[in-house]
């Protein structure tokens, strides 16, 4: 068997799992607090990650033993970040009763619980099902949450159509295995089990599912709020006379890299074709099938679509997609993204009502002594029953707010010490961090818990420099996997060792340019002093109107280093 044909252990687990069933039912009932190797991988397809509290590693547990304190992260999949107030209330209730009393809005418009005990997993999923929420396909080697601009602007049919397209794609690419229902959603009283269907269970994914995760997102040229170039499959809506005439299809975007493996790299999606709205689902299916049948199943480090395209070249890839689709596809239009709306603050909904976009620092919804965001969201949901829309910047939009309720909604936030989006600095507004320590098993160092302090420091430095009004994106991750998309923003801070970061510069808010490594292994307490030197240079040498990211790109690493040293 050639190297390429050997299956990775994860692919073997999937292949032998009877559509993701494996040993999960038996292990769920075995009385321990964790699952075995194969089940851990299969469970990801159900939106569940086995984790342990890394703050508690090595400490004595309640039962007197030492070892890992196992717990689970569970992710709800929400296409376009869209949910109802009732669904949010249920998530809030469950985070208190079964999780660690917080919810986490993700960088892909999803919502996560942390700290779930193994025995509580079925109860959690059954409760979510009651409000029509699912975690199936939120993780694993399938199409993940489909991203789309979440703003529900009612007099803008374009946004509505894009959001409907994201729901359609999410439904079309959802895993079909009945094992999720059979294992976790069976009727607890009767103990009845749904039978595994006979015939073709997964017509699209097959027995082995995809070689790796797959991500789709839809954006507008004037609003790239979902970072369209970072997706395996990105769609940019082309609008003429207020109607979508089609989409530019981008393929092969992705962020993850492993510094020790040169074969890995972040990549921006490249133009494949222009397609009309009625072609979207079938062309997407052809692209997914090409990846399914040709993606690397031996080495998961290079199994994403971006590597297949890198190895084949775009011409061969396009020819293969056309073969699967059954006809040739026209060239993509000459359209790029040119704006980014974070939808924060008040926005006219277009039907007489309003949307409020609330900044949620790093997506964490919680109550503590300084701020009671969870309580505030509960009160807003029960008082106004707004539509809820999560953004790709880990924030929340409340829609359908009547004009006469605007100041009362603000009063609820203020009463619970939640800072209004209008009152935060640009630095904080445009920053985000991945979860990292203590739950993420892959984190090398802090991110969500480290970024706020760095933002405090940078805010003070920029104030002194008179640069407080600058608009730039700063994103941090606790390892190079790139979950907060740090490789195409103005400032990327990527965990490299304990309390040490790689500083990336030269990307920008639009997300259409990759950044370069400015400095590696920078100790946490030197990150802001290093950045302050570059901002000082920026103030001195920038062109009129030039953004920080554009300046860093124009100058380049060597010139900045020399100027800063001199």
**Site residues (CB under 6 A) for ligand SF4?**
434-436, 440, 442-443, 447, 477-479, 481-483
Binders of ligand SRM: how many residues, by CB under 6 A? 30
Q: Which of 118, 212, 215, 306 is catalytic?
A: 215
Largest distance between two CA atoms of the chain? 76
For 108, residues 6+ apart whose C-beta sits below 8 A from its C-beta are 144, 145, 147, 215, 392
Report the nearest approach of ligand SF4 to the CB of residue 68 (Å): 17
Kindly give the pairing relationship between strand 500-505 and strand 491-497.
antiparallel
For 59, residues 6+ apart whose C-beta sits below 8 A from its C-beta are 66
Helix %, strand %, coil % of the chain (to 5):
35, 20, 45
Q: Give Cα separations from 561 to 399, 420, 552 (angstroms).
A: 46, 38, 11
- Provide the mask over 402-441, with x wherever binding to ligand SRM is found by CB under 6 A and - wherever it is not: --------------------------------xx---xxx
Gyration radius (Cα) of the chain, Å: 23
| 224 DSSP assignment | -
Active site residue 213: yes
CB 287 within 8 A of CB 294: no
Residue 215 or 292: which CB sits closer to ligand SRM? 215
Report the nearest approach of ligand SRM to the CB of residue 441 (Å): 4
The entry of ligand SRM, ligand SF4, none that residue 479 binds, CB within 5 to 8 Å by partner kind: ligand SF4
Q: Which of 95, 381, 440, 552 is catalytic?
A: 440
Residue of 237, 253, 272 whose CA lies nearest to 165? 237
Report the nearest approach of ligand SF4 to the CB of residue 387 (Å): 28
Residue 289 or 304: which CB sits closer to ligand SRM? 304
Report the nearest approach of ligand SF4 to the CB of residue 107 (Å): 9
- Judged by CB under 6 A, the residue of 159, 378, 389, 485 near ligand SRM is 485
| 223 DSSP assignment | B
The span of 172-180, 249-257, 376-384, 451-459 binding ligand SRM (CB under 6 A) equals 249-257
The span of 5-13, 60-68, 251-259, 290-298 binding ligand SRM (CB under 6 A) equals 251-259
Residue 231 or 374: which CB sits closer to ligand SRM? 231
The entry of ligand SF4, ligand SRM, none that residue 112 binds, CB within 5 to 8 Å by partner kind: ligand SRM
The residue of the chain with the least Cβ separation from ligand SRM equals 256
Q: Which of 381, 434, 489, 552 is catalytic?
A: 434
Report the nearest approach of ligand SRM to the CB of residue 354 (Å): 27
Active site residue 434: yes
Report the nearest approach of ligand SRM to the CB of residue 146 (Å): 10
> Rounded distance, CA 566 to CA 561, Å?
8
> Rounded distance, CA 492 to CA 482, Å?
9
Residue of 304, 311, 422 whose CA lies nearest to 357? 422
Tokens of 332: 């993509």
Q: Measure CA 263 to chain center.
A: 24
Residue 49 interacts with ligand SRM (CB under 6 A)?
A: yes
Question: Phi, psi at residue 208, to the nearest 5°?
Answer: -105, 0
Contacts 24+ apart (CB under 8 A), 528-531: 528/454, 528/457, 528/458, 528/461, 530/503, 531/458, 531/461, 531/491, 531/503
Active site residue 479: yes
Tokens of 54: 């890394």
Report the nearest approach of ligand SRM to the CB of residue 12 (Å): 17
Q: Which of 14, 75, 271, 508 is catalytic?
A: 75
The span of 8-16, 59-67, 405-413, 478-486 binding ligand SRM (CB under 6 A) equals 478-486
The entry of ligand SF4, ligand SRM, none that residue 82 binds, CB within 5 to 8 Å by partner kind: none
Active site residue 483: yes
Residue 73 interacts with ligand SRM (CB under 6 A)?
A: yes
Residue 144 interacts with ligand SRM (CB under 6 A)?
A: yes
- Judged by CB under 6 A, the residue of 14, 90, 108, 289 near ligand SRM is 108
Report the nearest approach of ligand SF4 to the CB of residue 478 (Å): 3
Active site residue 90: no
> Is the Cα dihedral 298, 301, 303, 306 positive or negative?
negative
CB neighbour class for 540 (10 Å; exposed up to 12, middle 13-18, buried from 19):
exposed
The span of 83-91, 477-485, 488-496, 508-516 binding ligand SRM (CB under 6 A) equals 477-485
Active site residue 440: yes
Residue of 419, 393, 410, 427 whose CA lies nearest to 535? 427
Residue 416 or 513: which CB sits closer to ligand SRM? 513
Residue 253 or 482: which CB sits closer to ligand SF4? 482
- Judged by CB under 6 A, the residue of 297, 304, 429, 475 near ligand SRM is 304
Give the DSSP letter string of 266-292. -B--EEEEEE-GGGHHHHHHHHHHHHH
For 392, residues 6+ apart whose C-beta sits below 8 A from its C-beta are 81, 107, 108, 109, 147, 217, 225, 226, 227
- For ligand SRM, the binding residues (CB under 6 A) are 49, 51, 73, 75, 106-108, 110, 112, 144-145, 215, 230, 254-256, 304, 363, 394, 434-435, 439-442, 481-485
Annotated catalytic sites, by residue? 75, 144, 213, 215, 434, 440, 479, 483
């Amino acid at each position: 068997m050639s190297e390429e044909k050997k299956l990775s252990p994860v692919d073997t687990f999937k292949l032998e799992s009877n559509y993701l069933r494996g040993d999960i039912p038996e292990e769920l009932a075995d009385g321990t607090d964790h699952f075995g190797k194969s089940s851990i991988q299969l469970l990801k397809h159900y939106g569940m990650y086995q984790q342990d509290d890394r703050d508690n590693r090595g400490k004595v547990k309640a039962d007197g033993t030492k070892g890992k304190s196992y717990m689970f992260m569970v992710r709800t999949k929400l296409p376009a970040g869209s949910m109802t107030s009732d669904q949010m209330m249920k998530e809030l209730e469950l985070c208190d009763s079964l999780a660690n009393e917080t919810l986490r809005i993700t960088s892909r418009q999803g919502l996560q619980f942390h700290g779930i005990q193994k025995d509580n997993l079925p109860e959690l999923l059954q409760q979510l099902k009651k409000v029509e929420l699912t975690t199936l396909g939120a993780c694993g080697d399938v199409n993940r949450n489909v991203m789309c601009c979440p703003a529900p602007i009612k007099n803008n049919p374009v946004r509505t159509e894009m959001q409907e397209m994201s729901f359609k794609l999410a439904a079309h690419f959802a895993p079909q295995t009945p094992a999720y229902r059979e294992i976790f959603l069976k009727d607890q009283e009767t103990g009845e089990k749904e039978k595994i269907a006979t015939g073709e269970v997964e017509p699209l994914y097959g027995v082995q599912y995809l070689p790796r995760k797959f991500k789709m997102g839809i954006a507008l040229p004037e609003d790239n709020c979902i970072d369209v170039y970072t997706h395996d499959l990105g769609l940019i809506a082309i609008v003429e006379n207020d109607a979508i005439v089609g989409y530019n299809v981008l393929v092969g975007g992705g962020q993850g890299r492993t510094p020790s493996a040169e074969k890995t790299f972040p990549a921006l999606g490249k133009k494949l074709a222009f397609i009309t709205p009625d072609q979207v689902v079938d062309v997407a299916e052809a692209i997914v099938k090409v990846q399914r049948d040709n993606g690397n199943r031996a080495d998961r480090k290079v199994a994403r679509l971006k590597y297949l395209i890198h190895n084949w070249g775009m011409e061969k890839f396009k020819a293969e997609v056309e073969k699967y689709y059954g006809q040739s596809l026209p060239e993509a239009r000459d359209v790029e993204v040119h704006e980014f709306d974070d939808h924060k603050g008040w926005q006219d909904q277009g039907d007489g009502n309003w949307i409020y976009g609330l900044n949620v620092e790093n997506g964490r919804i919680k109550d503590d002594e300084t701020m009671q965001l969870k309580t505030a969201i509960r009160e807003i949901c029960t008082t106004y029953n707004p539509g809820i829309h999560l953004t790709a910047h880990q924030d929340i939009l409340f829609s359908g707010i009547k004009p006469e309720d605007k100041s009362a909604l603000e009063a609820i936030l203020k009463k619970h010490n939640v800072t209004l989006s209008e009152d935060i600095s640009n630095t904080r507004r445009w920053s985000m961090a991945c979860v990292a320590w203590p739950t993420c098993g892959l984190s090398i160092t802090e991110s969500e818990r480290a970024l706020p302090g760095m933002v405090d420091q940078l805010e003070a430095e920029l104030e002194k420099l008179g640069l407080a009004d600058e608009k730039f994106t700063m994103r941090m991750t606790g390892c190079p996997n790139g979950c907060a998309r740090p490789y195409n923003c103005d400032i990327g801070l990527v965990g490299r060792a304990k309390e040490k970061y790689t500083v990336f510069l030269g990307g920008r808010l639009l997300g259409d340019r990759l950044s370069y490594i400015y400095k590696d292994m920078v100790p946490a307490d030197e990150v802001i002093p290093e950045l302050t030197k570059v901002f000082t240079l920026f103030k001195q040498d920038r062109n009129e109107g030039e953004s920080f990211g554009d300046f860093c790109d124009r100058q380049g690493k060597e010139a900045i280093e020399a100027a800063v040293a001199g």
